[in-house]
Chain A
């Protein structure tokens, strides 16, 4: 099969199917006109700016960089914030845990039969160490 010849016949047939109906044709025309309205903008900039084109181009490049940098900065800031929040939370938990331990010791001391003075006695402390070993 000659591919090019076959394809040219297919193309010829496909070209006969470009009668797409008034509704679609009208929408395409409207789309084309809208597109052409947008075409004016770069043409006007080109004509008016002259030497300033360099600045505009830098602005354009800067704008495209901003599109990347701003979300990246937001992401980094969010990550730092999250880390700090977690650290603060851990510190608060540690302080609370220590306070609970001290409270527990105090409770044991106060509710025990042994007088508080006994804990200040050095001999008692050394006896306690030996006994615990």
Chain B
């Protein structure tokens, strides 16, 4: 992952700086992954914070190369824990939760996207930046729509760059299931993009 060594048998234990570098590298993608799943920024931040604390407390002394799959496993478990808690809570407050407004980015103000695209950090032409921003928005929306296991497999495999075996270990399923989930996710995304006239 991101240039990490795969042969970790004799890897040195992670120092504080190495752990810091690892967390700094992974935190934003972890936040996005949690956000795709839970669709609430505050909850997603809480989940990432929990995952970081658990990694540092329990596995902080592991070799650096072992940190990515460990962190992903903790993160995915934290996301699943959130849904379990939510399920229990919803048994008690079904009526209230059905009346509560959904914090879904599907109805996000397009001006926000335009604002980001026109930000000072963007050095490209405004049209290209807008196209890129719209494409990102579309891809993120389609990723949110994927079934949870497909999304999890696709992001772990291709965004976090875990190999098939690591992804299977994180997800607690077979390598064959990982390949199937990834293939279905990729096809679903390609079909959705094609329907909008976009071919990557």
**Chain A residues at the B interface, C-beta cutoff of 8 Å:** 1, 3-4, 6-11, 13-14, 16-20, 24-25, 27-28, 31-32, 34-36, 38-43, 46
Contact = CB atoms under 8 A, between A and B. Distances in A.
A13 B24 contact: no
A32 B157 CA distance: 24
B32 A14 contact: yes
Given A35-B53, A39-B19, A17 B136 contact: yes
B31 A28 contact: yes
Band of interface residues on B: 35 or more
A41 B140 contact: no
Contacts of B143: 14
A41 B45 contact: no
Contacts of A10: 139, 158-159, 189, 200
Interface of B: 16, 19-20, 23-24, 27-29, 31-32, 41, 45, 48-49, 52-53, 55-57, 60-61, 116, 119, 121, 132, 135-136, 139-140, 143, 154, 157-159, 182-183, 186-187, 189-190, 200
Contacts of B154: 7
Contacts of A38: 53, 56-57, 60
Contacts of A18: 28-29, 32
B139 A34 contact: no
Contacts of A3: 182-183, 186
A16 B56 CA distance: 28
Contacts of B186: 1, 3, 6-7
